[in-house]
């Protein structure tokens, strides 16, 4: 079996990857005139969530990791904004809109928890570093 990288073990990354697939399947039914509009924007924003999580997992400090979790959250809010607009324009059914919105809420909670955990680890490390420093 192939090596599993740390981001692949994150539940929030797995959920975000499923969101990407859902967005791709949903947007394939959008009108062709939206190919370079909402379709492209939704697909790019959803992929960026998983990409930022993967990139952040490779960073050395928890502060850097938390930064990428924050950017992933921003991309998630971009997706939310775009599905609201797609729904209001009639490109997205009520059922699909509610389904995607529920997934976004779940991911947003997990991203917030991940970021909080990363920042807490950073704070704990800073406290430990200060208490271990020699006083001379």
Predicted confidence at residue 21, as pLDDT, reads: 98
On whether the CB atoms of residues 108 and 12 are closer than 8 A, the answer is: no
Predicted confidence at residue 132, as pLDDT, reads: 56
Per-residue DSSP letter, 84: H
Structure confidence by residue, pLDDT tens digits, 21-56: 999 999 999 988 888 899 999 999 999 999 999 999
Whose CA is closest to 122, among 77, 49, 70?
70
Predicted confidence at residue 35, as pLDDT, reads: 84
Token reading at 79: 């997706």
Cα 98 to Cα 87: distance, rounded to the nearest angstrom: 10
Predicted confidence at residue 15, as pLDDT, reads: 98
Cα 59 to Cα 46: distance, rounded to the nearest angstrom: 21
On whether the CB atoms of residues 97 and 83 are closer than 8 A, the answer is: yes
On whether the CB atoms of residues 43 and 50 are closer than 8 A, the answer is: no
pTM for the full predicted model: 0.88
Predicted confidence at residue 133, as pLDDT, reads: 59
Q: Over range 82-92, report the average pLDDT.
A: 96
Map tokens 């680890």 to a residue: 121
Q: Over range 71-83, report the average pLDDT.
A: 98
């Amino acid at each position: 079996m192939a090596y599993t990288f740390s981001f692949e073990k994150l539940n929030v990354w797995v959920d975000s990857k499923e969101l990407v697939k859902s967005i791709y399947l949903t947007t394939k039914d959008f009108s062709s005139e939206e190919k370079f509009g909402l379709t492209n924007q939704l697909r790019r924003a959803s992929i960026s969530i998983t990409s930022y999580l993967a990139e952040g997992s490779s960073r050395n400090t928890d502060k850097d990791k938390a930064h990428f979790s924050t950017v992933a959250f921003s991309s998630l809010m971009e997706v939310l904004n775009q599905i609201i607009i797609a729904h209001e324009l009639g490109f997205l059914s009520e059922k699909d809109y509610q389904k995607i919105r529920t997934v976004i809420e779940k991911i947003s909670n997990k991203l917030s928890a991940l970021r909080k955990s990363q920042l807490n680890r950073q704070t704990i490390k800073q406290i430990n570093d200060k208490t271990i420093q020699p006083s001379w």
